[in-house]
Structure 1
Amino acid sequence: MMETYIYKIVPYKENFMETITEEEEKIVGEHFEYLKKAHENGIVLLAGPCLDAAFGIVIFKSNNFEEAKLFMENDPAVKRGVFEAELHDFKISIGNLI
């Protein structure tokens, strides 16, 4: 049975959206496509940023923590250092995301 995980992503610099470079914008686009494809494949349950751009979250399914960590680390924005990420086991107590 697959477990649920969450990773929090935080831009590596303050005022990220106000100072985003073309290269960073490209990487964020790759990040979006990575998560979109994973959602289409039933892995990502929910993902999105805070409207103040302070952080974003990704809630997803994985077989184990090591596999979940690999999924997070392969996110293009994490891999390329645009976002710092923090992974946690996550239990959905209320909601119908399962």
Structure 2
Amino acid sequence: MATYAVFLPLKDEEKSKEHRPAHLDYLERLHETGHVLARGPFVDGSGGLIIYESPSYDAVEKLVNEDPYVVHGARDYVIHEWALVGHLRTT
């Protein structure tokens, strides 16, 4: 399995507000099945970041394209394979 960082830059604020509940439900289901490791919005409102675990770029892109934000044109996306080295906690 590989790790992917997926940026979801804001494309349409109204559509983003409208489809947020479905987006969050979708990500929760993916988290429960082990596909989403972490997720969250940027505090400046410009979009968000999701960390996926997936066997391939194509597989993660398929998941991203099924996200209600992407389906309804609320967000764009940029996918980068990410070399997760470890988890550091400062507290």
**RMSD value over aligned CA atoms?**
1.5
- Post-superposition offset of 1:55: 2.1
Determine whether 1:7 maps to 2:14. Answer: no
Question: How does the TM-score come out when normalised to structure 1?
Answer: 0.81
User: Which stretches of structure 1, 4 residues or longer, exceed 6 Å deviation after superposition?
Assistant: none
* Aligned partner of 2:42 among 35, 50, 60: 50
Q: Secondary structure at the match of 1:28?
A: helix
Q: C-alpha distance in 1, partners of 2:2/2:69?
A: 23
**Fraction of identical pairs, as percent:** 25
- The number of aligned residues is 88
Q: Name the counterpart of 2:59.
A: 67
Residues 1-98 of structure 1 aligned to structure 2 (within 5 Å): 2-13=1-12, 16=13, 20=14, 24-95=16-87
Q: Which amino acid aligns with 1:42?
A: G
Q: C-alpha distance in 1, partners of 2:25/2:64?
A: 14
The answer to whether the Cα contact below 8 Å between 1:72 and 1:87 also exists between their aligned partners in 2 is: no
Residues 7-30 of structure 1 show CA distances to partners (whole Å, capped at 9, x for unaligned) of 1001114xx3xxx3xx64331111
Question: How does the TM-score come out when normalised to structure 2?
Answer: 0.86
Distance 1:24 1:92, change over 3 A: closer
- Post-superposition offset of 1:47: 0.4
- Post-superposition offset of 1:6: 1.2
